[in-house]
Structure 1
């Protein structure tokens, strides 16, 4: 990776510019006074990617693009070629073009590539960044696991594994919005990513040109029932929900769902170098819902 850029200020280019997380990143970077651009150029179109990079000349690309499916990852089961084109070919192409141009590339990836197993039972140790992936229950997760195994060798890439991201509003993409609208939910502890806590950390890591793979979640795990209880108690009094088992859930979804705890020791250790800390997930949710309530969200 070419790194000689003189003393030029950082210039950020957010890929997937119309997306939910991309919008949060753009707003955050602008609030910090950073120079930021967004793009919706298709990642798999190599010539278009090269033209965009040459025109904007970013120091840092933040890749929020990719295919998650609408309304959920079940879509990917019936659109495998489209999913590969975006999540594998596109992600690799953008990272490679950035490498050739000497640009740091942050990839907002997923931690939904693991599932509780004998070595990592519920309540046991979390999956570390070095653990091999073990969840292929959905085609979406399978593509993400495969591409990470390749892209981690790029010396310009920072790979951040988000899980069940949550914003301070009830946007349709917010994990809380999703489970609050389900007729029934499973009650399994999982790692979650509270965007207000983690997105500033992504900017810090990118600006320091950090690379490699990081589990990018709040420390700890929280169950769906715990999330919805806090939601009821703080945001929406009287809210009710019902549970069902994983076996019952499997009958109404096309693809399996990942359930896991990610170990965040590596992330926490790195962020301490920059005097930044991420709150434990229960405390983070409480603060998130308090911000919702203060903003009038119901």
Structure 2
């Protein structure tokens, strides 16, 4: 990428897309193209095709997606599959039709089988059954990977894919019905602190282990891959380190300054027992994360405090 390349960030208002946009600006890329969902419905094939014909982007970061936590994934199964299939298919096909130089598709660690060996190596894709609660989202993301591989194989497109681990950071979703575990914990503990609640309920047993990557680190990795990586094989992006949900909850509780009790609702699902990414491929390429979890959660809580009205 050149500093004046026309770079389209799909999903620039979301946590991932906004982090990529910030990273590009910080690195001196000044020709970044964006559209809000009200300006461009990415599920509309004709509208996406018209956008590509008009703007003619050289590079595309495909960070747009319908996302959510266990509850949202399990309840809105049709929406998660349908919307994500349309978004990725429309953008990838238009990128091919309008001869985009390079596209980066962002998937998710949920593409891996529920009981895959740990840590999760890229070659474990499609080696077993998916976690049922987020299967529609995972299938959509797997389809995106395969679309990139197919357009590369059939048409020679330089389309690459990256699979981030669990993410957190500015512009996260704090809706308790639709959010992921870390932002949900931040909001729960903050509201319990303000309202002097005696306890906070947390879903599951606390035993599953999860890996967390700050969105700014992910963005840096994405720009790094766009600048340096051109192979077909997709790349995991993560820290290579994980914690139990119980330890995460204790860390968020301490960061927020909540002094009440933790109560675990074991009637609620745990999800996959463990999801730790093998990031050796990314490390060999020359990239490693920089923001550690304690530091990242503290910064994210301060961002939450500054932007509460927008987030909740």
TM range (shorter): 0.7 to 0.9
Other structure's SS at 1:278 match: coil
Q: How does the TM-score come out when normalised to structure 2?
A: 0.74
Q: Which residue of 2 aligns with 1:242?
A: 263
Distance 1:295 1:84 in 2: 31
Check conservation: 1:60, 1:105, Cα contact below 8 A.
Answer: yes
2:220 aligned to which of 200, 206, 214: 200
Tell me which protein shows more helix as a share of its residues.
Answer: 2
Shift of 1:111: 0.8
Q: Which residue of 2 aligns with 1:107?
A: 105
2:297 aligned to which of 286, 289, 292: 289
Q: How does the TM-score come out when normalised to structure 1?
A: 0.77
2:124 aligned to which of 131, 134, 138: 131
Other structure's SS at 1:242 match: strand
Check conservation: 1:191, 1:220, Cα contact below 8 A.
Answer: yes
Other structure's SS at 1:183 match: strand
Shift of 1:202: 0.6
Check conservation: 2:11, 2:64, Cα contact below 8 A.
Answer: yes
Q: Which residue of 2 aligns with 1:185?
A: 203
Q: 1:239 to 1:95 in 2, by over 3 A?
A: farther
Aligned pairs, how many?
272
Structure 1, unaligned runs of 5 or more: none
Distance 1:221 1:277 in 2: 15
Q: Which residue of 2 aligns with 1:160?
A: 162
Shift of 1:267: 1.4
Q: Which residue of 2 aligns with 1:46?
A: 45
Check conservation: 2:23, 2:216, Cα contact below 8 A.
Answer: no
Distance 2:146 2:114 in 1: 20
Q: Which residue of 1 aligns with 2:10?
A: 15
Other structure's SS at 1:28 match: helix
Q: Which residue of 1 aligns with 2:309?
A: none
Q: Which residue of 2 aligns with 1:176?
A: 182
Check conservation: 1:159, 1:214, Cα contact below 8 A.
Answer: yes
Shift of 1:53: 1.6
Q: Which residue of 2 aligns with 1:60?
A: 59
Say if 2:288 is the partner of 1:277: yes
Distance 1:215 1:28 in 2: 19
Shift of 1:237: 4.5
Shift of 1:244: 4.0
Check conservation: 1:61, 1:106, Cα contact below 8 A.
Answer: yes
Q: Which residue of 2 aligns with 1:86?
A: 83
Distance 1:258 1:107 in 2: 26
**Residue deviations 1:148-184 (CA, integer Å, cap 9, x gap):** 3343333322222123211057752564221343722
Shift of 1:292: 4.5
Distance 2:300 2:125 in 1: 37
**Residue deviations 1:71-100 (CA, integer Å, cap 9, x gap):** 7213422xx1x4333222331231122123
Shift of 1:213: 1.0
Check conservation: 2:3, 2:28, Cα contact below 8 A.
Answer: no
Q: 1:46 to 1:229 in 2, by over 3 A?
A: same
Distance 1:177 1:145 in 2: 25
Structure 2, unaligned runs of 5 or more: 153-157, 189-199, 307-312
CA RMSD of aligned residues (A): 3.1
